[in-house]
Copies of this chain bind each other. A is one copy, B any other.
Amino acid sequence: MSIRRENTKESPGITATNNTSGNVRTRIFELGNDQNRLLIAADPQDRATLQPFLEPVTLLPGEILLDVGQAIDYVYFPQSGVISLLTMVQPGQFVETCTIGREGAVGLVTGLGSGVSLSRVVVQIAGRALRMRTALLQEILPKTPSLNDIKTRYGEALISQVLQTLACNTLHSVEQRLCRWLLICRDRTASNTVPLTQEALAEMLGVQRTTVTAAARSLQARGFIRYRRGVIECTDVAGLQETSCECYALMRDTFARLLPYTYEDPPADRG
Residues of A within 8 A of B (CB): 85, 87-90, 93-95, 97, 109-110, 113-114, 118-119, 152-153, 155-156, 159-160, 162-171, 205-206, 245-247, 250, 254, 258
17 pairs, A vs B, C-beta closer than 8 Å: A87-B163, A87-B166, A88-B167, A89-B168, A89-B171, A89-B250, A93-B171, A94-B167, A97-B163, A110-B159, A113-B155, A118-B160, A118-B163, A162-B166, A165-B166, A167-B206, A170-B170
The main secondary structure of chain A at its interface with chain B is helix
Number of copies: 2
Taking CB atoms, residues of chain B closer than 8 Å to A85 are 163
Partner among B109, B113, B155, B170 whose Cβ is within 8 Å of the Cβ of A95 = B170
Q: Could you tell me the distance between the alpha carbons of A221 and B29 in the complex, rounded to whole angstroms?
A: 61
Partner among B87, B170, B245 whose Cβ is within 8 Å of the Cβ of A164 = B87
Partner among B88, B113, B170, B258 whose Cβ is within 8 Å of the Cβ of A114 = B258
What is the distance, in angstroms, from A3's C-beta to the closest C-beta of chain B?
Answer: 27
Q: Could you tell me the distance between the alpha carbons of A95 and B110 in the complex, rounded to whole angstroms?
A: 24
A166 touches B113 (CB 8 A): no
